[in-house]
Each structure stands twice: as structure tokens, then as C-alpha cells.
Structure 1
Amino acid sequence: MYLEEVKQLLAEILHIHDEVSAYTAETPLLGYIPELDSMAVVSLITAIEEKYGIVVEDDEISADAFETVGNLAAFIERKVG
């Protein structure tokens, strides 16, 4: 459900609009997208919090949530409820 929204956030924050159109739920994030460094992860989390009106606690941030586009979409879905 949140897959397209995650792709849009990635495009906006990382400035990779052309590349994102080809992303699927299985597209890896961390270690795959050079633009997704630690500062970009912080920006992405902040954007997610603002967009969905949620708070992402430090202990909820894991490599698993950022492993793939689909994992990140599923994480948002769980948080939003």
C-alpha cells in the first residue's frame, strides 16, 4: 500500500527521480543506493514522521526496515496502523 509513497519520498530526498521509477518492493536500499547515507536515512525518517504524523523511536530503526523498498513500506504500514 505504501510502496509508491516510499518511492516518491526516496526520489524527493535523494534526488533520484529517474532511478526510482524502476524500483520494486525487492529493490535493496542500504548498501545499494549510494545516495542513501546516514544523513539521508535521518532525512528520510524525518520525512516519514512528518508525512504520516508518527514518531519513529530510535529502537525501531533497524537495518531490516531499510533492507528493501518493500520492507520500508511495510514498516510504515505497521507504524501507521
Structure 2
Amino acid sequence: MSREEILVKLKEILGSNQFLFSEEQIEKINEDTSLIYDLVMDSIQILELLVTIEEAFSLTYEAQDLSADLFDKVSNLISFVETKIA
């Protein structure tokens, strides 16, 4: 799966009713978007996103795999998914 395909899937996830982002917000998401600062996701939303990513990409991770840097930029999250599905 390419980085672009992962980005599209992440945008689909974030565009679901679960996260309540507008279409305009979703369209603007790119690899430089910060989940915390640009999308203003709180800790509960981040946890929901992690669970949804785990299900959507059929991957697993350990607590030590996670860090705040992972959510700084969408590019970090894409890289994380890439390594887990490889």
C-alpha cells in the first residue's frame, strides 16, 4: 500500500461521523497536517483513531510503539502504518 493510499484511507476514517470533521477540513488534510494542532484532536479522539486504524489496516501495535510525535504530523502516522503493514 502506497503512502497516498494510506493518506486516502486516513482521510476516509477522519471523515466518518465518528470524528465530526467537516468536508472542508478533510480536503485540507495532507502529510504536513498536525492531528493535534491543525485538527485539534483531543486524547479521546486520538484513542478512537488508533482503534479505528488498527481495524481498518488490520494491524497491531504495542504501547511502546506509540509516542506524541506520532500525532504531530499525518506523515508520521502514515510512516507508522507503513511499518506495521509491511
With structure 2 as the length reference, what TM-score do the two structures score? Answer: 0.82
Name the CA distance, whole Å, in 2 between partners of 1:17 and 1:61: 27
Maintained 8 Å contact 1:7/1:20: yes
Per-residue CA shift, 1:48-77, capped at 9, x if unaligned?
111121112111111111111121111111
Alignment gaps of 5+ in structure 1: none
With structure 1 as the length reference, what TM-score do the two structures score? Answer: 0.86
Moved >2 Å (runs of 4+): none
Q: Which residue of 1 aligns with 2:78?
A: 73
User: What letter corresponds to residue 14 of structure 1 in structure 2?
Assistant: F
User: What letter corresponds to residue 31 of structure 2 in structure 1?
Assistant: A
Q: Which has the higher contact order (CA 8 A, sep 6+)?
A: 1
Note the aligned Cα RMSD (angstroms): 1.3
User: Does residue 44 of structure 1 match 2:68?
Assistant: no
User: Identity of paired residues, percent?
Assistant: 28
Count of residues in Structure 1 that have an aligned counterpart in Structure 2? 80
User: Does residue 55 of structure 1 match 2:60?
Assistant: yes
User: Does residue 11 of structure 1 match 2:21?
Assistant: no
Alignment gaps of 5+ in structure 2: none
Which one of 16, 22, 26 corresponds to residue 28 of structure 2?
22
